[in-house]
Amino acid sequence: MPNILLTRPHAQARHFADALIAQGVQPDQITIDPIMKIAPVETACDISACTGLIITSANALSYLPVALRGSRLPCYCVGDSTSQAARALGLNAYHLADTARDLCEALPTVCQEGPLLHLRGTHTTLNMSEYFRSTPLPVENVVVYEQIALPLQAETHESLRRSSPVILPIFSARSAKLLGKLALDWRPHWAVALSPAIAALCQEAGFGQITTAAQPNRQAMVAVITPLMDVKSG
């Protein structure tokens, strides 16, 4: 039977593993070995004048400034689960889009007043401040966390050097780039990408098989992986 390697930060990997197990994947088929961890970044920003927030990753909500919790401030989110998490923290959250670029395109139709704060990590695929610089809507980037690269365990390297294919669900451009930098032959292995942009990075890394989720969310990733387990073990 094939194995699944989860390289997300540990808490997110554990949640995804639980979702796979709920669909019949055996726990011993899943290895969790994070290729990065999330850590807070000390930041000083003036939140008194902001009219709303942009959240493109739920990681940012873990480091939401205390003054914003329970504020009912408008919060424009990527993804339904991120929107739900923002509401749980007392923000007036809107699930505006499923990708950061789609959010940028939709935002001016629902918000015409700024400044907005984009709470984000050190690594991002889209600079919101630059995107909106020539528009009437001011957006300020505020880095509240960093994505710190971690080495994979020796056992993981050994497993990936075998000819047996391994399924790797890849949820971020950062993860895809870090995997691509490793001295490993990815041709025997199968990447399941959250989005076409991530799939393109997996192709650059040299994965032999790449499948892109129909929607950029956890449910769609699970829907891709569960039948792949049967396809690859048959």
Q: Are 101 and 126 in contact (CB under 8 A)?
A: yes
Q: What is the pLDDT of residues 68-87, one digit of tens each?
A: 999 999 999 999 989 999 99
Q: Is the pLDDT of residue 21 over 90?
A: yes
Identify which has the larger pLDDT, 163 or 207: 207
In this prediction, residues 178-182 reach a mean pLDDT of: 96
62 and 113 assigned to the same domain? yes
Please tell me the pTM assigned to this model.
0.87
Among candidate residues 119, 147, 175, the one where a domain is terminated: 147
Among candidate residues 130, 147, 164, the one where a domain is terminated: 147
140 and 172 assigned to the same domain? no
Identify which has the larger pLDDT, 9 or 46: 9
In this prediction, residues 147-172 reach a mean pLDDT of: 94
Among candidate residues 96, 129, 147, the one where a domain is terminated: 147
Q: What is the pLDDT of residues 99-146, one digit of tens each?
A: 999 999 999 999 988 899 999 999 988 999 999 999 999 999 999 999
In this prediction, residues 164-180 reach a mean pLDDT of: 95
Nearest to 228 by CA among 140, 160, 141, 165: 165
Phi, psi of 201 (to 5 degrees): -70, -35
Kindly report the CATH number assigned to the domain that includes residue 198: 3.40.50.10090
137 and 58 assigned to the same domain? yes
Q: What is the pLDDT of residue 2?
A: 67
